[in-house]
Amino acid sequence: MHKAIAEISQSPPPGPPDAERAWLWWLPRPRRSPRSPRLGIGWRLGLGLAAVTAVLLLGESLATRTARQALEAVRSMQTEHEPLANRANAVLEKLIAYDRAVGEYVQAHSADDKLSTITLAGDALEAAVAEYFSSAPPRAVTAAATALRQQLTRHIANARQLATRASQRLQWDARRQAALDDVYRRIVSAGGSGLAINGTQVVAERSLAELHTAINAVRGNLAPSAVIAQREREFREVLNAHTAAFEASPGRAWLSLVRQDFAEAARLRRASERYDGESGPLWHSLREDSAALTVGVQRELQLPAREGLLQAAQHAATAAEGAEHTLRNTSFAVLGLMLLVSALLAVSISVPVRRLTAATRLLAGGDR
């Protein structure tokens, strides 16, 4: 009885369809929860494209920045570090060339004046040093580098002074030889080499013959200085021993010129001897300074320049690698975002379509 009443109460009252709809209208409707506004397909597509555009712009900005850093590193290497390394190499090359020119000139045994070659080499070295320090960045001009520059300046001045003195010595040797040649010609013209009689016999006065032999011994330049000094004393002894004969013939004027020229030759030899005694230690010190300066240029100029060039090259390589990574990561990010947007769009389109299809099938099957 109660079960029948319950079934009657749960089933709608019989009647026409209008009465059924009225009964349904009378039933309380379920409350719908408030929902956020749904975006259409166009909006979703626009948001996806906007996200892709934002990623592209961000990647382009990062790639541009890293590429700019790489270009700046390469430009710095080409305009600063590489020229600085070349200038340091030029300083070393000019220093070696200058010392070689000075050494060849100082050790020369001819009166050929090549002092201009040393002057040009010194000017080239000074120009190379000035160019390096004028173009070097402040961080490269250390206290040690500044001290090295001062040492190079003193070295150039000392070498020029030594070369100038060597040039003076060569002039002394040339003047000495000219004076001895004048003495020799006067002795020969006076008959010291002998007078030919009938084209077969050669007769010479004993005094002139001895003087001729003595001057020939003095004129030799290959003997040591002590030997030459001894020969000069022997020549004076012969000249003094026959002074009376020489005053008689060839004459006092001739004897005075011979004494004067020979005294000048002896004085020039002593000056050259003093120079040789003083220049030996100076030349030895100059060579030691040259070796120390060569090491200093390599340590204070070449090595920092090469290290800077190497660091600039490494920085350029790192920046280029960073730009490559940025471009690759940006490409992957854009590709992944496009795939994600495409998947979301496909889901947002396919799900409503499937729901609509299912609802249509339900309506077609009479399920309301």
**How confident is the model over 297-351, as pLDDT tens digits?**
999 888 888 887 788 778 777 777 877 787 788 778 778 877 877 777 777 777 7
Considering only CA atoms, which of 173, 273, 176, 165 is closest in space to residue 225? 273
Q: Is 38 helix (H, G, I), strand (E, B) or coil?
A: coil
State the Cα torsion 129-132-138-140 to the nearest 10°: -90
243-250: long-range pairs with CB below 8 Å, 24+: 245/205, 245/207, 246/207, 249/190, 250/186, 250/190
Q: Are 125 and 95 in contact (CB under 8 A)?
A: yes
- For 24, other C-beta atoms within 10 Å of its C-beta total 10
C-alpha distances out from residue 301 to 78, 138, 169, Å: 18, 13, 36
**Which class for 103: exposed (0-12), middle (13-18), buried (19 or more C-beta within 10 A)?**
middle
- The two structure tokens encoding residue 298: 């390599």
- Which token pair is 306? 């090469």
Max CA pair span of the chain: 192
Q: How far apart are CA 278 and CA 286, in angstroms?
A: 13
Q: What is the SS3 assignment for 210?
A: helix
- Model pTM score: 0.61
Predicted local distance difference test score (pLDDT) of residue 113 = 56
Amino acid identity at 96: I
DSSP state letter for 222:
S
What's at 367, amino acid-wise? Answer: D
The pLDDT of residue 4: 43
Per-residue pLDDT of the chain (368 residues; tens, 9 = 90+): 444 444 444 444 444 444 444 434 444 444 544 555 566 667 767 777 787 788 778 777 877 777 777 777 777 766 677 888 888 899 999 999 999 988 888 776 554 556 788 888 999 999 999 999 888 887 778 899 999 999 999 999 998 888 888 888 888 988 999 999 999 999 988 886 655 444 544 445 788 888 989 999 998 767 888 899 999 999 999 999 999 988 888 899 999 999 999 999 999 999 989 988 888 888 888 889 999 999 999 998 888 888 877 887 787 777 778 777 877 887 787 788 778 777 777 777 777 777 778 888 877 876 55
CA distance 362 to 267: 137
Structural contact between residues 337 and 51, judged by C-beta atoms closer than 8 angstroms = yes
DSSP H or E stretch at residue 64: helix 41-76
Fold that domain 46-330 belongs to in CATH: Methane Monooxygenase Hydroxylase; Chain G, domain 1 (1.20.58)
Say how far apart CA 148 and CA 142 lie, in whole Å: 10
Nearest to 239 by CA among 271, 263, 267, 269: 263
CB 183 within 8 A of CB 266: no
Domain ranges of the chain: 46-330
**Cα distance between residue 77 and residue 70, in whole Å:** 11
Rounded to whole angstroms, how far apart are CA atoms 357 and 309? Answer: 71
Q: Residue 262 has which token pair?
A: 């020979």
Q: Of 227, 234, 182, 177, whose CA–CA distance to 211 is shortest?
A: 234
pLDDT value, residue 343 = 78
How far is Cα 283 from Cα 107, in angstroms, rounded to an integer? Answer: 10
The pLDDT of residue 163 is 85
For residue 269, what are its two tokens? Answer: 């030899």
Contact predicate 209/218, CB 8 Å:
no
Q: What's the burial of 336, exposed, middle or buried (CB within 10 Å: 0-12/13-18/19+)?
A: exposed
- Contact 81/101 with Cβ under 8 angstroms? no
Q: Dihedrals φ, ψ of 123, to 5°?
A: -65, -40
